[in-house]
Structure 1
Amino acid sequence: MHRSARLLLIAGAIAALASCATKPKSPMGFFITSANPGKGADFGGLAGADQHCQALATAVGGGDHTWRAYLSTTGAGGTNARDRIGKGPWKNAKGVVVATSVDDLHSANNKLGKDTSLTEKGAVVNGSGDTPNMHDILTGSMPDGRASTAANDTTCRNYTSSDEGSVLMGHHDRKGTNPDPVANVSWNSSHGSRGCSTSGLASTGSAGLLYCFATD
Protein backbone atom coordinates (compact mmCIF):
# COMPACT_ATOMS: atom_id res chain seq x y z
CA MET A 1 0.00 0.00 0.00
CA HIS A 2 1.23 3.44 -0.91
CA ARG A 3 2.57 5.37 2.07
CA SER A 4 0.13 8.25 1.64
CA ALA A 5 -2.84 5.88 1.49
CA ARG A 6 -1.59 4.11 4.61
CA LEU A 7 -1.30 7.43 6.44
CA LEU A 8 -4.85 8.34 5.44
CA LEU A 9 -6.14 5.04 6.83
CA ILE A 10 -4.30 5.58 10.10
CA ALA A 11 -5.60 9.14 10.36
CA GLY A 12 -9.13 7.90 9.72
CA ALA A 13 -8.85 5.26 12.41
CA ILE A 14 -7.54 7.80 14.92
CA ALA A 15 -10.40 10.16 14.08
CA ALA A 16 -12.94 7.37 14.53
CA LEU A 17 -11.51 6.45 17.91
CA ALA A 18 -11.53 10.08 18.99
CA SER A 19 -15.14 10.42 17.91
CA CYS A 20 -16.15 7.38 19.96
CA ALA A 21 -14.24 8.65 22.98
CA THR A 22 -15.91 12.05 22.92
CA LYS A 23 -19.44 10.95 21.98
CA PRO A 24 -21.79 12.01 24.78
CA LYS A 25 -23.78 9.32 26.53
CA SER A 26 -27.51 9.02 26.03
CA PRO A 27 -29.32 11.69 28.08
CA MET A 28 -31.83 9.49 29.90
CA GLY A 29 -30.71 8.69 33.44
CA PHE A 30 -33.95 7.67 35.16
CA PHE A 31 -37.02 5.62 34.34
CA ILE A 32 -39.69 3.31 35.70
CA THR A 33 -39.54 -0.15 34.19
CA SER A 34 -42.25 -0.67 31.60
CA ALA A 35 -42.80 -4.30 32.59
CA ASN A 36 -42.12 -6.91 35.25
CA PRO A 37 -40.25 -10.10 34.26
CA GLY A 38 -43.21 -12.18 35.43
CA LYS A 39 -42.29 -13.46 38.89
CA GLY A 40 -43.71 -10.73 41.09
CA ALA A 41 -41.10 -9.38 43.50
CA ASP A 42 -38.63 -12.15 42.66
CA PHE A 43 -35.97 -10.63 40.43
CA GLY A 44 -33.25 -13.05 41.43
CA GLY A 45 -31.91 -10.54 43.95
CA LEU A 46 -30.30 -7.17 43.31
CA ALA A 47 -28.20 -8.47 40.43
CA GLY A 48 -31.30 -9.64 38.58
CA ALA A 49 -33.10 -6.36 39.19
CA ASP A 50 -30.10 -4.40 37.90
CA GLN A 51 -29.94 -6.63 34.83
CA HIS A 52 -33.63 -5.96 34.18
CA CYS A 53 -32.98 -2.19 34.26
CA GLN A 54 -29.96 -2.57 32.00
CA ALA A 55 -31.83 -4.65 29.44
CA LEU A 56 -34.77 -2.27 29.19
CA ALA A 57 -32.46 0.74 28.89
CA THR A 58 -30.39 -0.99 26.22
CA ALA A 59 -33.52 -1.72 24.18
CA VAL A 60 -34.17 2.02 23.81
CA GLY A 61 -30.59 3.11 23.22
CA GLY A 62 -29.57 3.80 26.80
CA GLY A 63 -27.23 0.87 27.27
CA ASP A 64 -24.17 3.12 27.30
CA HIS A 65 -24.92 3.80 30.99
CA THR A 66 -24.54 1.49 33.96
CA TRP A 67 -28.04 1.06 35.40
CA ARG A 68 -29.07 0.14 38.93
CA ALA A 69 -32.47 -0.62 40.40
CA TYR A 70 -33.50 1.68 43.24
CA LEU A 71 -33.74 -1.07 45.87
CA SER A 72 -32.53 -1.51 49.43
CA THR A 73 -31.65 -4.86 50.95
CA THR A 74 -31.58 -6.04 54.55
CA GLY A 75 -29.56 -8.49 56.61
CA ALA A 76 -25.84 -9.14 56.42
CA GLY A 77 -24.31 -6.98 53.75
CA GLY A 78 -27.50 -4.93 53.41
CA THR A 79 -27.55 -2.07 50.93
CA ASN A 80 -29.26 1.32 50.89
CA ALA A 81 -30.92 2.26 47.60
CA ARG A 82 -29.58 5.80 47.81
CA ASP A 83 -26.00 4.53 47.92
CA ARG A 84 -26.15 2.56 44.68
CA ILE A 85 -27.58 4.96 42.09
CA GLY A 86 -24.72 7.37 41.42
CA LYS A 87 -24.61 11.10 42.10
CA GLY A 88 -27.00 12.59 39.53
CA PRO A 89 -28.34 14.69 37.98
CA TRP A 90 -30.92 12.43 36.33
CA LYS A 91 -33.18 13.13 33.35
CA ASN A 92 -36.24 11.18 32.31
CA ALA A 93 -36.90 9.91 28.77
CA LYS A 94 -38.24 13.33 27.77
CA GLY A 95 -35.15 15.18 28.97
CA VAL A 96 -36.68 16.61 32.15
CA VAL A 97 -34.34 16.75 35.15
CA VAL A 98 -36.14 14.93 37.95
CA ALA A 99 -33.38 15.40 40.56
CA THR A 100 -29.98 17.06 40.62
CA SER A 101 -28.35 14.95 43.35
CA VAL A 102 -29.01 12.20 45.87
CA ASP A 103 -29.98 14.76 48.49
CA ASP A 104 -32.28 16.56 46.05
CA LEU A 105 -33.87 13.24 45.10
CA HIS A 106 -34.74 12.60 48.74
CA SER A 107 -36.11 16.06 49.37
CA ALA A 108 -39.38 17.85 48.68
CA ASN A 109 -37.62 19.64 45.81
CA ASN A 110 -37.40 16.66 43.46
CA LYS A 111 -39.52 16.76 40.31
CA LEU A 112 -40.88 13.24 40.51
CA GLY A 113 -44.56 12.68 39.82
CA LYS A 114 -46.96 10.94 37.45
CA ASP A 115 -46.08 13.25 34.55
CA THR A 116 -42.31 12.99 35.01
CA SER A 117 -41.72 9.47 36.38
CA LEU A 118 -41.89 7.90 32.94
CA THR A 119 -40.93 4.49 31.59
CA GLU A 120 -37.81 3.96 29.49
CA LYS A 121 -40.10 4.40 26.48
CA GLY A 122 -41.33 7.78 27.70
CA ALA A 123 -44.78 6.47 28.66
CA VAL A 124 -46.83 7.51 31.68
CA VAL A 125 -47.46 4.77 34.25
CA ASN A 126 -51.02 4.28 35.51
CA GLY A 127 -51.64 5.98 38.84
CA SER A 128 -54.33 6.28 41.47
CA GLY A 129 -57.73 6.43 39.75
CA ASP A 130 -56.53 4.62 36.61
CA THR A 131 -57.44 1.04 35.73
CA PRO A 132 -55.46 -0.85 36.70
CA ASN A 133 -53.75 1.21 39.38
CA MET A 134 -49.99 0.63 39.11
CA HIS A 135 -48.62 3.45 41.23
CA ASP A 136 -46.91 1.25 43.85
CA ILE A 137 -43.26 0.96 42.79
CA LEU A 138 -41.03 -1.54 44.60
CA THR A 139 -38.19 0.02 46.61
CA GLY A 140 -37.73 -1.83 49.90
CA SER A 141 -36.74 1.56 51.29
CA MET A 142 -37.59 4.20 53.84
CA PRO A 143 -38.28 7.82 52.75
CA ASP A 144 -34.58 8.69 53.15
CA GLY A 145 -33.59 5.94 50.72
CA ARG A 146 -32.20 3.60 53.35
CA ALA A 147 -33.21 0.07 54.26
CA SER A 148 -35.79 -0.47 56.96
CA THR A 149 -34.65 -1.76 60.35
CA ALA A 150 -38.04 -3.35 61.07
CA ALA A 151 -38.11 -6.98 62.14
CA ASN A 152 -40.65 -7.93 59.48
CA ASP A 153 -39.78 -8.58 55.84
CA THR A 154 -39.66 -5.35 53.83
CA THR A 155 -37.85 -6.60 50.70
CA CYS A 156 -39.59 -9.86 49.73
CA ARG A 157 -36.52 -11.69 51.00
CA ASN A 158 -34.21 -9.32 49.17
CA TYR A 159 -36.17 -9.72 45.93
CA THR A 160 -35.99 -13.51 45.77
CA SER A 161 -39.57 -14.34 46.85
CA SER A 162 -42.60 -14.59 44.62
CA ASP A 163 -44.97 -15.78 47.32
CA GLU A 164 -44.69 -15.02 51.03
CA GLY A 165 -43.34 -11.79 52.48
CA SER A 166 -43.79 -8.10 51.83
CA VAL A 167 -41.92 -5.24 50.19
CA LEU A 168 -41.99 -1.51 50.85
CA MET A 169 -43.31 0.48 47.91
CA GLY A 170 -43.61 4.13 46.96
CA HIS A 171 -46.28 6.03 45.01
CA HIS A 172 -44.86 7.28 41.72
CA ASP A 173 -47.80 9.69 41.41
CA ARG A 174 -47.42 10.80 45.04
CA LYS A 175 -51.07 10.06 45.75
CA GLY A 176 -52.65 7.64 48.19
CA THR A 177 -54.54 7.12 51.40
CA ASN A 178 -51.73 6.53 53.85
CA PRO A 179 -52.59 8.48 57.03
CA ASP A 180 -48.99 9.66 57.38
CA PRO A 181 -48.95 12.99 55.48
CA VAL A 182 -45.27 12.56 54.61
CA ALA A 183 -45.46 8.95 53.45
CA ASN A 184 -48.67 9.76 51.60
CA VAL A 185 -46.74 11.77 49.05
CA SER A 186 -43.55 9.73 49.25
CA TRP A 187 -42.40 8.47 45.88
CA ASN A 188 -40.24 5.79 47.47
CA SER A 189 -41.87 4.67 50.73
CA SER A 190 -45.63 4.65 51.32
CA HIS A 191 -46.55 1.17 52.59
CA GLY A 192 -45.82 -2.54 52.30
CA SER A 193 -47.29 -5.00 49.82
CA ARG A 194 -49.80 -7.77 50.45
CA GLY A 195 -47.38 -10.49 49.52
CA CYS A 196 -44.71 -10.95 46.89
CA SER A 197 -46.59 -12.73 44.11
CA THR A 198 -47.82 -11.02 40.98
CA SER A 199 -51.40 -11.20 42.26
CA GLY A 200 -50.40 -10.06 45.74
CA LEU A 201 -48.64 -7.01 44.35
CA ALA A 202 -51.57 -6.23 42.04
CA SER A 203 -54.03 -6.35 44.93
CA THR A 204 -52.01 -3.56 46.56
CA GLY A 205 -51.85 -1.41 43.41
CA SER A 206 -48.55 -2.58 41.94
CA ALA A 207 -47.45 -4.13 38.67
CA GLY A 208 -44.08 -5.04 40.17
CA LEU A 209 -42.29 -2.14 38.52
CA LEU A 210 -38.96 -0.61 39.59
CA TYR A 211 -37.22 2.75 39.54
CA CYS A 212 -33.96 2.59 37.55
CA PHE A 213 -31.11 5.11 37.73
CA ALA A 214 -27.95 5.54 35.68
CA THR A 215 -24.92 5.59 37.94
CA ASP A 216 -22.68 7.43 35.45
Structure 2
Amino acid sequence: MLASTVSFAQNDEQPEMSFFITSVGGGDGGNLGGLVGADTHCQALASAVDRGDSTWRAYLSTQGINAVDARDRIGTGPWYGAVGNLIARDQDHLHGDTLEQARLGNGLHPFHARTESGEIVPGILTREYGLDVSKHDILTGSTPEGRAYPTGDDQTCSNWSNNSGGSARVGHHDRHGFMDNSWNSTHNTRGCSQEELIPSGGAGLFYCFAIE
Protein backbone atom coordinates (compact mmCIF):
# COMPACT_ATOMS: atom_id res chain seq x y z
CA MET A 1 0.00 0.00 0.00
CA LEU A 2 2.80 2.40 0.90
CA ALA A 3 4.67 1.63 -2.32
CA SER A 4 1.63 2.35 -4.48
CA THR A 5 1.00 5.58 -2.60
CA VAL A 6 4.57 6.75 -3.12
CA SER A 7 4.45 5.80 -6.79
CA PHE A 8 1.25 7.79 -7.26
CA ALA A 9 2.78 10.84 -5.59
CA GLN A 10 5.84 10.62 -7.84
CA ASN A 11 3.87 10.23 -11.06
CA ASP A 12 1.07 12.64 -10.30
CA GLU A 13 1.74 16.11 -11.67
CA GLN A 14 1.38 18.88 -9.07
CA PRO A 15 -1.43 21.30 -9.96
CA GLU A 16 -0.37 24.81 -10.87
CA MET A 17 -0.74 27.41 -8.14
CA SER A 18 -4.01 29.32 -8.44
CA PHE A 19 -4.19 30.81 -4.93
CA PHE A 20 -1.79 32.60 -2.62
CA ILE A 21 -1.53 35.15 0.15
CA THR A 22 0.56 38.15 -0.84
CA SER A 23 4.02 37.95 0.69
CA VAL A 24 3.93 41.73 1.14
CA GLY A 25 1.16 44.30 1.16
CA GLY A 26 1.04 47.44 -0.88
CA GLY A 27 3.05 49.27 1.78
CA ASP A 28 0.47 52.03 2.25
CA GLY A 29 -1.96 50.41 4.66
CA GLY A 30 -5.48 50.07 3.26
CA ASN A 31 -4.65 52.19 0.25
CA LEU A 32 -4.04 49.54 -2.38
CA GLY A 33 -4.81 51.77 -5.35
CA GLY A 34 -8.36 50.41 -5.47
CA LEU A 35 -9.20 47.03 -6.94
CA VAL A 36 -7.06 47.74 -9.98
CA GLY A 37 -4.01 48.39 -7.83
CA ALA A 38 -4.64 45.26 -5.77
CA ASP A 39 -5.05 43.12 -8.89
CA THR A 40 -1.83 44.55 -10.31
CA HIS A 41 -0.03 43.63 -7.08
CA CYS A 42 -1.33 40.05 -7.33
CA GLN A 43 -0.24 39.83 -10.96
CA ALA A 44 3.25 41.16 -10.21
CA LEU A 45 3.84 38.74 -7.35
CA ALA A 46 2.61 35.82 -9.45
CA SER A 47 4.86 36.88 -12.33
CA ALA A 48 7.86 36.90 -10.00
CA VAL A 49 7.39 33.15 -9.47
CA ASP A 50 6.62 32.34 -13.13
CA ARG A 51 2.83 32.25 -12.76
CA GLY A 52 2.13 35.47 -14.58
CA ASP A 53 0.58 33.53 -17.47
CA SER A 54 -2.71 33.43 -15.55
CA THR A 55 -4.98 36.37 -14.78
CA TRP A 56 -4.96 37.10 -11.05
CA ARG A 57 -7.57 38.91 -8.97
CA ALA A 58 -7.51 40.14 -5.38
CA TYR A 59 -10.16 38.72 -3.06
CA LEU A 60 -11.59 42.09 -2.02
CA SER A 61 -15.08 43.55 -1.86
CA THR A 62 -16.05 47.21 -2.25
CA GLN A 63 -19.00 49.18 -0.89
CA GLY A 64 -21.37 51.78 -2.29
CA ILE A 65 -23.58 52.16 -5.33
CA ASN A 66 -21.33 50.02 -7.50
CA ALA A 67 -20.41 47.55 -4.76
CA VAL A 68 -18.38 44.52 -5.80
CA ASP A 69 -18.50 41.12 -4.11
CA ALA A 70 -15.09 39.50 -3.62
CA ARG A 71 -16.44 36.08 -4.55
CA ASP A 72 -17.56 37.33 -7.95
CA ARG A 73 -14.02 38.39 -8.85
CA ILE A 74 -12.15 35.11 -8.53
CA GLY A 75 -13.61 32.66 -11.01
CA THR A 76 -15.12 29.27 -10.25
CA GLY A 77 -12.21 27.11 -9.09
CA PRO A 78 -10.73 24.73 -8.30
CA TRP A 79 -7.89 26.58 -6.57
CA TYR A 80 -4.57 25.16 -5.43
CA GLY A 81 -1.88 26.60 -3.19
CA ALA A 82 1.81 27.07 -3.92
CA VAL A 83 2.70 23.58 -2.70
CA GLY A 84 -0.02 21.87 -4.74
CA ASN A 85 -2.59 21.53 -1.98
CA LEU A 86 -6.30 21.94 -2.69
CA ILE A 87 -7.70 25.17 -1.26
CA ALA A 88 -11.25 24.73 -2.57
CA ARG A 89 -13.00 22.87 -5.36
CA ASP A 90 -15.47 25.63 -6.15
CA GLN A 91 -17.31 28.60 -4.67
CA ASP A 92 -19.57 26.41 -2.52
CA HIS A 93 -16.56 24.65 -1.02
CA LEU A 94 -14.65 27.90 -0.48
CA HIS A 95 -17.48 29.72 1.27
CA GLY A 96 -19.38 26.82 2.83
CA ASP A 97 -22.52 27.73 0.91
CA THR A 98 -24.24 24.46 1.73
CA LEU A 99 -24.55 22.75 5.09
CA GLU A 100 -22.40 19.88 3.89
CA GLN A 101 -19.68 22.15 2.50
CA ALA A 102 -19.67 24.22 5.67
CA ARG A 103 -19.23 21.03 7.70
CA LEU A 104 -16.35 19.81 5.53
CA GLY A 105 -14.59 23.19 5.39
CA ASN A 106 -12.13 24.41 2.78
CA GLY A 107 -8.35 23.94 2.65
CA LEU A 108 -7.41 27.30 4.14
CA HIS A 109 -5.24 26.83 7.21
CA PRO A 110 -1.80 28.19 8.17
CA PHE A 111 0.25 25.44 6.54
CA HIS A 112 -1.68 25.36 3.26
CA ALA A 113 -2.56 29.03 2.76
CA ARG A 114 0.92 30.24 1.79
CA THR A 115 2.54 33.06 -0.13
CA GLU A 116 3.25 32.98 -3.85
CA SER A 117 6.71 31.55 -3.15
CA GLY A 118 5.38 28.87 -0.80
CA GLU A 119 6.37 30.56 2.44
CA ILE A 120 4.22 30.17 5.55
CA VAL A 121 2.49 33.39 6.62
CA PRO A 122 3.12 33.89 10.35
CA GLY A 123 0.05 33.35 12.50
CA ILE A 124 -0.88 32.51 16.08
CA LEU A 125 -0.27 28.79 15.56
CA THR A 126 3.13 29.19 13.86
CA ARG A 127 4.91 30.85 16.78
CA GLU A 128 6.32 27.50 17.85
CA TYR A 129 8.21 27.46 14.55
CA GLY A 130 9.99 30.70 15.35
CA LEU A 131 7.62 32.96 13.42
CA ASP A 132 6.82 35.28 16.28
CA VAL A 133 5.10 38.23 14.62
CA SER A 134 1.57 37.29 13.58
CA LYS A 135 0.37 38.55 10.21
CA HIS A 136 -2.84 36.58 10.17
CA ASP A 137 -5.14 39.56 9.51
CA ILE A 138 -5.91 39.30 5.79
CA LEU A 139 -7.73 42.21 4.12
CA THR A 140 -11.03 41.24 2.49
CA GLY A 141 -13.73 43.84 3.18
CA SER A 142 -16.17 40.95 2.96
CA THR A 143 -18.90 39.07 4.79
CA PRO A 144 -18.37 35.35 5.51
CA GLU A 145 -20.29 34.67 2.30
CA GLY A 146 -17.78 36.71 0.31
CA ARG A 147 -20.20 39.57 -0.24
CA ALA A 148 -19.86 43.34 0.13
CA TYR A 149 -21.13 45.05 3.27
CA PRO A 150 -23.98 47.55 2.93
CA THR A 151 -23.13 51.23 2.73
CA GLY A 152 -22.51 52.60 6.22
CA ASP A 153 -19.58 51.72 8.42
CA ASP A 154 -16.36 51.59 6.42
CA GLN A 155 -15.29 47.99 5.86
CA THR A 156 -12.93 48.59 2.94
CA CYS A 157 -10.70 51.59 3.76
CA SER A 158 -12.82 53.65 1.35
CA ASN A 159 -12.73 50.96 -1.30
CA TRP A 160 -9.01 50.37 -0.84
CA SER A 161 -8.00 53.97 -1.46
CA ASN A 162 -7.51 55.30 2.08
CA ASN A 163 -4.48 55.11 4.39
CA SER A 164 -5.88 57.04 7.36
CA GLY A 165 -9.03 56.77 9.45
CA GLY A 166 -11.71 54.33 8.41
CA SER A 167 -11.42 50.58 8.81
CA ALA A 168 -11.24 47.33 6.88
CA ARG A 169 -12.76 43.92 7.48
CA VAL A 170 -10.18 41.15 7.75
CA GLY A 171 -10.16 37.37 8.01
CA HIS A 172 -7.71 35.06 9.78
CA HIS A 173 -5.87 32.74 7.42
CA ASP A 174 -4.88 30.59 10.42
CA ARG A 175 -8.47 30.39 11.76
CA HIS A 176 -7.19 31.38 15.18
CA GLY A 177 -7.78 34.33 17.49
CA PHE A 178 -9.94 35.75 20.23
CA MET A 179 -13.01 36.33 18.06
CA ASP A 180 -14.84 34.53 15.26
CA ASN A 181 -12.17 32.66 13.32
CA SER A 182 -13.45 32.98 9.77
CA TRP A 183 -10.80 32.95 7.03
CA ASN A 184 -12.46 35.94 5.33
CA SER A 185 -14.48 37.89 7.92
CA THR A 186 -13.31 38.01 11.52
CA HIS A 187 -13.02 41.62 12.74
CA ASN A 188 -12.22 45.15 11.65
CA THR A 189 -8.86 46.88 11.71
CA ARG A 190 -8.17 49.79 14.07
CA GLY A 191 -7.63 52.09 11.11
CA CYS A 192 -6.32 52.16 7.57
CA SER A 193 -2.72 53.32 8.00
CA GLN A 194 0.07 50.78 7.81
CA GLU A 195 0.79 51.38 11.49
CA GLU A 196 -2.84 50.77 12.46
CA LEU A 197 -2.95 47.41 10.71
CA ILE A 198 -0.11 45.98 12.80
CA PRO A 199 -1.45 45.90 16.42
CA SER A 200 -4.13 43.29 15.75
CA GLY A 201 -1.78 41.10 13.71
CA GLY A 202 -1.80 42.52 10.22
CA ALA A 203 0.57 43.73 7.51
CA GLY A 204 -1.81 44.70 4.72
CA LEU A 205 -1.71 41.24 3.11
CA PHE A 206 -4.58 39.89 1.00
CA TYR A 207 -5.66 36.79 -0.93
CA CYS A 208 -5.04 36.38 -4.67
CA PHE A 209 -6.87 33.91 -6.93
CA ALA A 210 -6.25 32.95 -10.54
CA ILE A 211 -9.39 33.22 -12.64
CA GLU A 212 -8.01 31.30 -15.62
TM-score tier after normalising by the smaller chain length: 0.7 to 0.9
List aligned pairs for 1:33-48, cutoff 5 A. 33-48=22-37
Larger deviation, residues 150-159 vs 191-200 = 150-159
Q: Deviations over 1:15-70 (max 9, x none)?
A: xxxxxxxxxxx810000000012101101100000000000000001101100000
Matches of 1:99 and 1:80, distance apart in 2: 18
- Of 187, 201, 204 in structure 2, the residue corresponding to residue 205 of structure 1 is 201
Q: Deviations over 1:174-198 (max 9, x none)?
A: 00111xxxxx221000000000011
Is residue 105 from structure 1 mapped to residue 101 from structure 2 by the alignment? Answer: no
Q: Which amino acid in structure 1 is aligned with residue 25 of structure 2?
A: N
Matches of 1:67 and 1:151, distance apart in 2: 29
Where 2:198 maps in the other structure, the secondary structure is helix
Which residue number corresponds to residue 56 of structure 1? 45
> 1:201, CA displacement in angstroms?
0.3
Matches of 2:27 and 2:177, distance apart in 1: 25
Is residue 29 from structure 1 mapped to residue 30 from structure 2 by the alignment? Answer: no
Q: How many residues align?
A: 187
Matches of 1:72 and 1:156, distance apart in 2: 11
RMSD: 1.3
Q: Which runs of 5+ in 2 are unaligned?
A: 1-14, 97-101
List aligned pairs for 1:36-185, cutoff 5 A. 36-107=25-96, 108=102, 109-128=105-124, 130=127, 131-149=132-150, 151-178=152-179, 184-185=180-181
Which residue number corresponds to residue 14 of structure 1? none
Structure 1 or 2, whichever has the larger Rg, is: 1
Which residue number corresponds to residue 187 of structure 1? 183
Q: Which runs of 5+ in 1 are unaligned?
A: 1-25, 179-183
Identity %: 52
Matches of 2:35 and 2:112, distance apart in 1: 25
Which residue number corresponds to residue 8 of structure 1? none
Matches of 1:116 and 1:132, distance apart in 2: 18
Matches of 1:96 and 1:149, distance apart in 2: 34
TM-score, with length taken from structure 2: 0.86
> 1:150, CA displacement in angstroms?
5.6
* Structure 1 runs, 4 residues or longer, greater than 3 Å off: none
Q: Which amino acid in structure 1 is aligned with residue 164 of structure 2?
A: D
> 1:128, CA displacement in angstroms?
1.5
